[in-house]
Copies of this chain bind each other. A is one copy, B any other.
Amino acid sequence: MRAKIFDSTLRDGAQAEGISFLVGDKIKIAKALDELGVDFIEAGNPGSNQKDMEFFHVAKGLTFKHSKLVAFGSTRRCNGEASSDANLLALLEAGTDYVCIFGKSWDFHVTQIINTTLEENLLMIKDSIRFLISKGKHVFFDAEHFFDGYKSNKEYAIKALQAAEEAGAECLVLCDTNGGTFPDEMVEIIKDVKKNVHTELGIHAHNDSGMAISLSVLAVLNGVTQVQGTFLGYGERCGNANLSAIIANLELKRNVKCLPDGNIKDLTNTARVVAEISNFKLLSTLPYVGETAFAHKAGMHVDGVFKNSKSFEHISPDLVGNERKFLISEVAGKATVLAKIEKIYPNVEKNDPRLSMIIQRIKDLEYLGYQFEGADASFELIVHKTFGAFKPFFEVLDFKTIGEGPSKANLHSSAAIIKVSVEGIEEITAANGDGPVDALNEALRKAIGRFYPILNMVHLSDYKVRILDGKESATAAKTRVLIESTDGASTWSTVGVSKDIIEASFKALIDSIEYKLFKENNK
Contacts and interface: CB of A to CB of B under 8 A. Distances in A.
Nearest to A239: B285
Contact of A253 (B209, B249, B437): B209
A373 B180 contact: no
A312 interface: yes
A11 to B, nearest CB: 10
Interface string A291-323: 011111111110110011011111100000000
Contacts of A441: 473, 475
Interface residues of A, number: 131
Interface stretch (A13-21, A153-161, A264-272): A13-21
A436 interface: yes
Interface in A457-483: 459-470, 472-477, 479, 483
A418 to B, nearest CB: 9
A499 interface: yes
Contacts of A407: 498, 500, 503
A371 interface: yes
Contacts of A468: 22
Contact of A413 (B304, B405, B467, B502): B502
A237 B436 contact: no
A168 interface: no
A405 B503 contact: yes
Interface stretch (A34-42, A117-125, A214-222): A214-222
10 contacts: A20-B329, A48-B331, A49-B331, A74-B300, A182-B217, A209-B249, A214-B215, A400-B404, A435-B499, A465-B465
Given A238-B290, A407-B498, 16 more contacts: A49-B331, A178-B310, A183-B183, A183-B218, A208-B287, A210-B287, A211-B213, A402-B402, A414-B502, A433-B476, A435-B479, A435-B500, A437-B475, A438-B500, A462-B474, A465-B466
4 nearest A-B pairs in the assembled complex, by CB-CB distance: A180-B314, A435-B500, A214-B214, A434-B499
